[in-house]
Amino acid sequence: MTVRLRPPRHRVDPRARRWWTAQALLTVSGPALLTAVALLVLALLFFAGALPWLAPLILGVLVLPAVGYLVAMPRLRHAVHAWELGDAAVYAASGWCWHRRRIAPLSRVQTVDTVRGPVQRRYGLATVTVTTASTAGDIRIAGLSEADAEELSRRIGHAAQAVPGDAA
Amino acid sequence: MSTRTARPVTTTGWRRLDRRTLLVHCGWLGAPLGSFALAALATGGRIGAAGWVTLGCLAVTFAAITAAGLARWARTDYRLTADSLDLRTGLLTRRLRTVPLHRVRTVDLTAPPLHRLLGVTVLRAGTAGSGDSGGELALEALSVRDAELLRSALLDRAAVPAPGTEPLLARIDWRWLRYAPLTFWVLGGVLAVAGGAYRALDGMGIEPWRLPFVQRAFTEFGASALWLTVPAALLGILALGSLGALGQYVEGWWNYRLEWADSRTLSVRRGLFTTRAVTIERDRLRGVVLREPLLLRAGGGGYAKAVAGGLGNREDNRRRSALMPPAPRATAVRVAAGALRSAFPEPESARHPRAALRRRRTRALLCVTLPGTLTFAVLGALLTPVLLHCAWVYALTSTPVALWLARDAYRSLGHGLYGRQLVVRSGTLSRDTVVLERAAVAAWTFSSSPFGRRAGLVTLTAAVAAGEDGYRIPDLSATTAPAFAAAAAPGIVDEFLERTP
């Protein structure tokens, strides 16, 4: 018989996939694709001779990774990201390539923050951050619906007060 | 050792910092003036326009800083009351900070050379949770007597000697000096000094490569028998580095003493030019790290560091957590045990799955062998066939080294539970044995990479509100990690575990 750490019960909001796609477009894929287009246009205008080797290079180095990231990252994240508030601890899973599961007992919780970024707000999402005295114990649950986030941060706050703690 | 009194020092009214603070403020002038003088010397007194501009800026800045320092000194005062230390600061916006005495965890007295010349010292009091939120309170210059009195008042506890333990844990033994050349400072020190000198010259508008004697030296070096002069130059650098390392060791650890000042506080004093005295409260001491960097380990040495809260930010923590200089391993283990007040547990090695070894081999080959070989091969294909030979020679020689490092890293891996303590060992370039109090674990993190998941490996991180915050147990078997986490610190992961037959 072995003991297994089961994944957290609750998935994040389905809208989070669209938010992650938007984020990918804004930070990684968008700039990479724009660079690729700019390079190709420049090559077409000024060094048409370089196209036979430049085009496959750009395709392999810029376009394919950018598109791959844009398609894969949100799906993988949505499959991994999850959270759960237990009787004595908060549990969250995150990541898409590297996975991370973190569990912090409520007795160690110091603060609970709810953050809504500009992009997140467009999709009606929020991030709940639970901090402990150790930076290696801080839990971030991203991609919750605003109602869920409010409810969760309220419940964590209540539970942390109910559990006798040693926050220091 | 200290002038510790049994009762708190009588409370004081509002007091200013020592007058000599103002002189200390002028200390920063030394470096720019010195480099200016050097520049004037090197150029034979011909100071260019840029030099004069620098000098002018210096004069203006000096006037401004002195004025600011004077104002700050006049508007800063502190007070010790029965239960708190109050600090009033601010020129226009007055700010009053009150630190309850029972929140003070560590006190650090540091006196850099200039402070020592003037007979003053800097007192920093770390409070609980002063990791990042700036909970630290610093008094920039107190006379040494005042600082000592204040420290004993801040940390005043019943001054009972620790029962059953020797209060003095270690003092400097100059035979340990032989370990100094086995530290990073041998090469790092030379590079740091060279970099610093270059920057200083560059700041004064001098390009060292243009100086005639530097150019002459380089042409002569290039024209000499390289097979003889290159090793000689390397030897010279090593010798210089060793000297530097010795100097650094002596400067850092002169008059070193580690002792339990009373049953609740551990105190470290050291330093030749800059003296430091760090006091760590026992309740904040969550464990120790025995560190054995590769070279030091080869020489049979190691050193111990404290894992304690309230030692300031990451860099402060690195400086203040040092419990001892590099010394024989047995001494390091004894010091660590003394700080823990229990036997130092050595973990069983290599209880980690074989996949961890394969992972280390791949990583070593990818990081050591591959980049060098590729560089040589590509350059060889482009430039000269000699480099192609270099490529295969490098591949052949570096592979065994990489594999040996991987094997060593695998054998270093180990973890276990011993009484109230959790022990973790890992690393080859620096083999670290971390002993943590199990009750101090504040959270668990399970992380895995794509390859690690396929191989059934997981890395467990214990979050602790002390030291480096997170301590990793790399590459555990994914099937045993949850049970280990549950056993090591009960009550955290338990409710999320699932038993499968």
Q: Are residues A86 and A74 in the same domain?
A: no
Residue B314 is assigned to a structural domain of this protein: no
Task: Say if A132 is an interface residue toward chain B (CB within 8 Å).
Answer: yes
Q: How many domains does chain B have?
A: 3
Give yes or no: residues A22 and A63 share one domain: yes
Shared-domain flag, residues B150 and B49? yes
- Give the mean pLDDT of B85-107: 79
Question: Does residue B261 lie within any of the structural domains?
Answer: no
pLDDT at B432: 94
- Helix (H) or strand (E) holding B230, with range, is helix B226-253
Helix axes B226-253, B185-203, angle to 10 degrees: 90
Domain-embedded: residue A28: yes
Give the tens place of pLDDT for each residue, A71-93: 999 999 999 999 999 888 999 99
Q: Is the pLDDT of residue B203 over 80?
A: no
CB atoms within 10 A of CB B331: 19
For residue B22, the model assigns a pLDDT of 79
pLDDT tens for residues B440-468?
Answer: 999 999 999 999 999 999 999 999 988 88
Asked whether residue B237 is assigned to any structural domain, the reply reads yes
Q: Going by DSSP bridges, is the β-strand pair B275-281/B285-293 parallel, antiparallel, or unpaired? A: unpaired
d(CA B93, CA A125): 39
Whole-number Cα distances in Å, B426 to B95, B143, B147, B217, B349: 46, 44, 40, 46, 9
∠ CA A152-A160-B486, nearest 5°, is 95
Do B212 and B112 lie in one domain? The reply is: no
| List of chain B residues whose C-beta atoms are within 8 Å of the C-beta of residue A4 | 479, 482, 497-500
Question: What are the DSSP E strand ranges found in A73-122?
Answer: 82-85, 89-94, 99-105, 111-115
Domain CATH number, residue B121: 2.30.29
Tell me: pLDDT of B1 over 50.
no
Residue B161 has pLDDT above 60, yes or no: no
Question: For residues B79 and B149, what is the distance between their CA atoms, to the nearest angstrom?
Answer: 13
**Phi, psi of B497, deg, nearest 5:** -90, 155
Asked if B206 and B82 sit in the same domain, the reply is no
Q: Where are the alpha helices (DSSP H) in B14-128?
A: 21-25, 30-42, 49-74, 113-118
Distances (CA, A) of B241 to A45, B137, B250, B346: 56, 37, 14, 33
Q: Are the CB atoms for B244 and B186 separated by under 8 Å?
A: yes
Residue B200 burial (C-beta neighbours within 10 Å; 0-12, 13-18, 19+) = middle
Share of chain A above pLDDT 90, in %: 62
DSSP B282: G
Predicted confidence (pLDDT) at residue B160 exceeds the cutoff of 70: no
Q: Work out the minimum CA distance from B361 to partner chain A, whole angstroms.
A: 20
Residue of A nearest to B310 (CA): A168
The answer on B181 and B88 residing in a single domain is no
Mean pLDDT of B24-45: 73
Q: Which pLDDT score, from 0 to 100, does residue B80 have?
A: 83
Q: B70 or B335: whose pLDDT is higher?
A: B335
Q: For residue B30, what pLDDT is reported?
A: 72
Query: Tens digit of pLDDT for each residue in B209-263?
Result: 777 777 787 777 777 777 777 888 888 888 888 888 888 899 899 999 999 887 7
Q: Which residue in A has a C-alpha nearest to residue B103's C-alpha?
A: A168
Contacts of residue B450 in chain A, CB cutoff 8 Å?
97-98
The answer, yes or no, to whether residue B129 has pLDDT greater than 70, is no
A5 contacts in chain B (CB < 8 Å):
446, 481-482, 493, 496-498
Residue B244 and residue B214 in one domain: yes
Distances in whole angstroms, Cα of residue B48 to Cα of each of B30, B52, B54, B55: 21, 7, 10, 11
Residue A71 domain-assigned (yes or no): yes
Final residue of a structural domain among B137, B164, B191: B164
Comparing CA positions, the residue from B394, B414, B390 lying closest to residue B402 is B394
Domain endpoint, select from A49, A78, A107:
A78
Judge whether A165 is closer than 8 Å to chain B, CB to CB.
no
Q: Is residue A114 part of a domain?
A: yes
Q: Are residues B152 and B208 in the same domain?
A: no
Please check whether residues B117 and B29 belong to one and the same domain.
yes
Q: How far is B314 from chain A (nearest CA, A)?
A: 11
Residues A56 and A86 in one domain: no
B55-64, B200-209, B304-313: which has the minimum mean pLDDT? Answer: B200-209
Please state which of the ranges B73-82, B95-104, B242-251 shows the lowest mean pLDDT: B95-104
| Cβ contacts of A97 on chain B, cutoff 8 Å | 449-450
Q: Answer whether residue B169 is part of any domain.
A: no
Length in residues, chain A: 168
Q: Where do the H-state alpha helices sit in A84-145?
A: 118-122
- What's the CA gap between B38 and B33, in Å, rounded? 9
Q: How confident is the model at residue B397 (pLDDT cuts 50, 70, 90)?
A: very high
Residues of B in contact with A135 (CB under 8 A): 131-132, 463, 469-470
CATH assignment at residue A115 = 2.30.29.30
Residues A95 and A59 in one domain: no
pLDDT at B274: 86
CB distance B445–A5 less than 8 Å? no
Give which of A1, A4, A91 to mutate to test B binding, by max B Cβ within 10 Å. Answer: A4
Q: Which has the higher per-residue pLDDT, B478 or B157? A: B478
* Same domain membership, residue B202 and residue B121: no
Q: pLDDT tens per residue, chain A (168 residues)? A: 688 899 999 999 999 999 999 999 999 999 999 999 999 999 889 888 888 888 899 999 999 999 999 999 999 999 999 999 988 899 999 999 999 999 999 888 888 889 888 888 899 999 999 988 888 889 999 999 989 999 998 888 888 777 765 544
Same domain, yes or no: A60 and A109: no
At B326-358, the pLDDT tens digits run 999 999 999 999 999 888 988 876 578 999 999
Domain that holds residue A102: 82-162
Can you name the residues that pair with B430 across neighbouring β-strands? B293
What span, in angstroms and rounded, lies between the C-alpha atoms of A97 and A85?
24
Q: Tell if the CB–CB gap between B445 and A136 is shorter than 8 Å.
A: yes
Are residues A102 and A147 both part of a single domain? yes
φ/ψ of A9, rounded to 5, equals -70, -45
B442 and A8 within 8 Å at the Cβ level: the answer is no
Q: Do B158 and B20 belong to one domain?
A: yes
List own/partner pairs for B266-273 with CB under 8 A and 24 or more apart. Answer: B266/B306, B266/B339, B267/B1, B267/B2, B268/B322, B268/B323, B269/B1, B270/B172, B271/B111, B273/B112, B273/B113, B273/B116
Q: Which two tokens stand for residue B43?
A: 């150029």
> Is residue B134 over pLDDT 60?
no
Alpha carbon distance A84, A61 (integer Å): 39
Q: What is the pLDDT of residue B422?
A: 93
| Chain B residues with a Cβ under 8 Å from any Cβ in chain A | 128-129, 131-132, 309, 442-450, 453, 461-466, 469-470, 479-483, 486, 491-493, 495-501
Looking at the fold, whether A156 and A89 belong to one and the same domain comes out as: yes
- A105 located within any domain: yes
Put the strands of the sheet holding B265-270 in their side by side order: B137-143, B120-127, B104-111, B275-281, B265-270, B257-262, B168-171
| Nearest C-alpha neighbor of B241 from the set B287, B168, B185 | B185
Q: For chain A, what is the domain count?
A: 2
Asked whether residue A167 is assigned to any structural domain, the reply reads no
| B284 close to A134: Cβ distance less than 8 angstroms | no
- Cα–Cα dist B409/B429, whole Å: 8
- Domain with B212, as residue range(s), is 175-253
Are residues A53 and A117 located together in one domain of the fold? Answer: no
Q: What is the mean pLDDT of residues B288-293?
A: 94
Residues A71 and A90 in one domain: no
Q: Are residues A73 and A88 in the same domain?
A: no
What does the block give as tokens for B204?
């004064």
Asked whether residue A130 is assigned to any structural domain, the reply reads: yes
Question: Of the candidates B229, B253, B277, which is a domain's last residue?
Answer: B253
Mean pLDDT for chain B?
83
- Residue B434 confidence (pLDDT) above 70: yes
Res B132 pLDDT > 60: no
Domain membership flag for residue A134: yes
Kindly state whether residue B405 falls inside one of the protein's structural domains.
yes
Same domain as B31, residue B96: yes
For B212, phi then psi, to 5°, come to: -60, -45
Which residues of chain A lie closer than 8 angstroms to B131, CB-CB?
133, 135
**If you average pLDDT over each of A140-149, B53-62, B75-84, which comes out highest?**
A140-149
pLDDT at position B450: 93
- Sign, CA dihedral B290-B291-B294-B297, equals negative
Q: What is the DSSP letter of B11?
A: P
Q: How far is CA A160 from CA A104, A110, B131, B193, in A?
A: 11, 8, 22, 51
Is B202 in the same domain as B87? no
Q: Shortest CB distance from B500 goes to which of A2, A87, A97?
A: A2
d(CA B466, CA B470): 9
CA angle B455, B458, B463 (to 5 degrees): 170
Per-residue pLDDT at A165: 57
Shared-domain flag, residues A139 and A106: yes
**Chain A residues with beta carbon closer than 8 angstroms to that of B498:** 3-6
Whether B316 shows a pLDDT value over 90: the answer reads: no
Task: Please tell me whether residues A95 and A127 are part of one structural domain.
Answer: yes
pLDDT in tens, B380-389: 888 888 888 8
Instruction: Say whether both B134 and B198 belong to one domain.
Output: no
H runs (alpha helix) in A81-145: 118-122
Of A133-137, B58-62, B207-211, B474-478, the one with minimum mean pLDDT is B207-211
Given B364, B386, B411, which residue is the final one in a domain? B411
The CA distance from A92 to the nearest CA of chain B, in Å, is 10
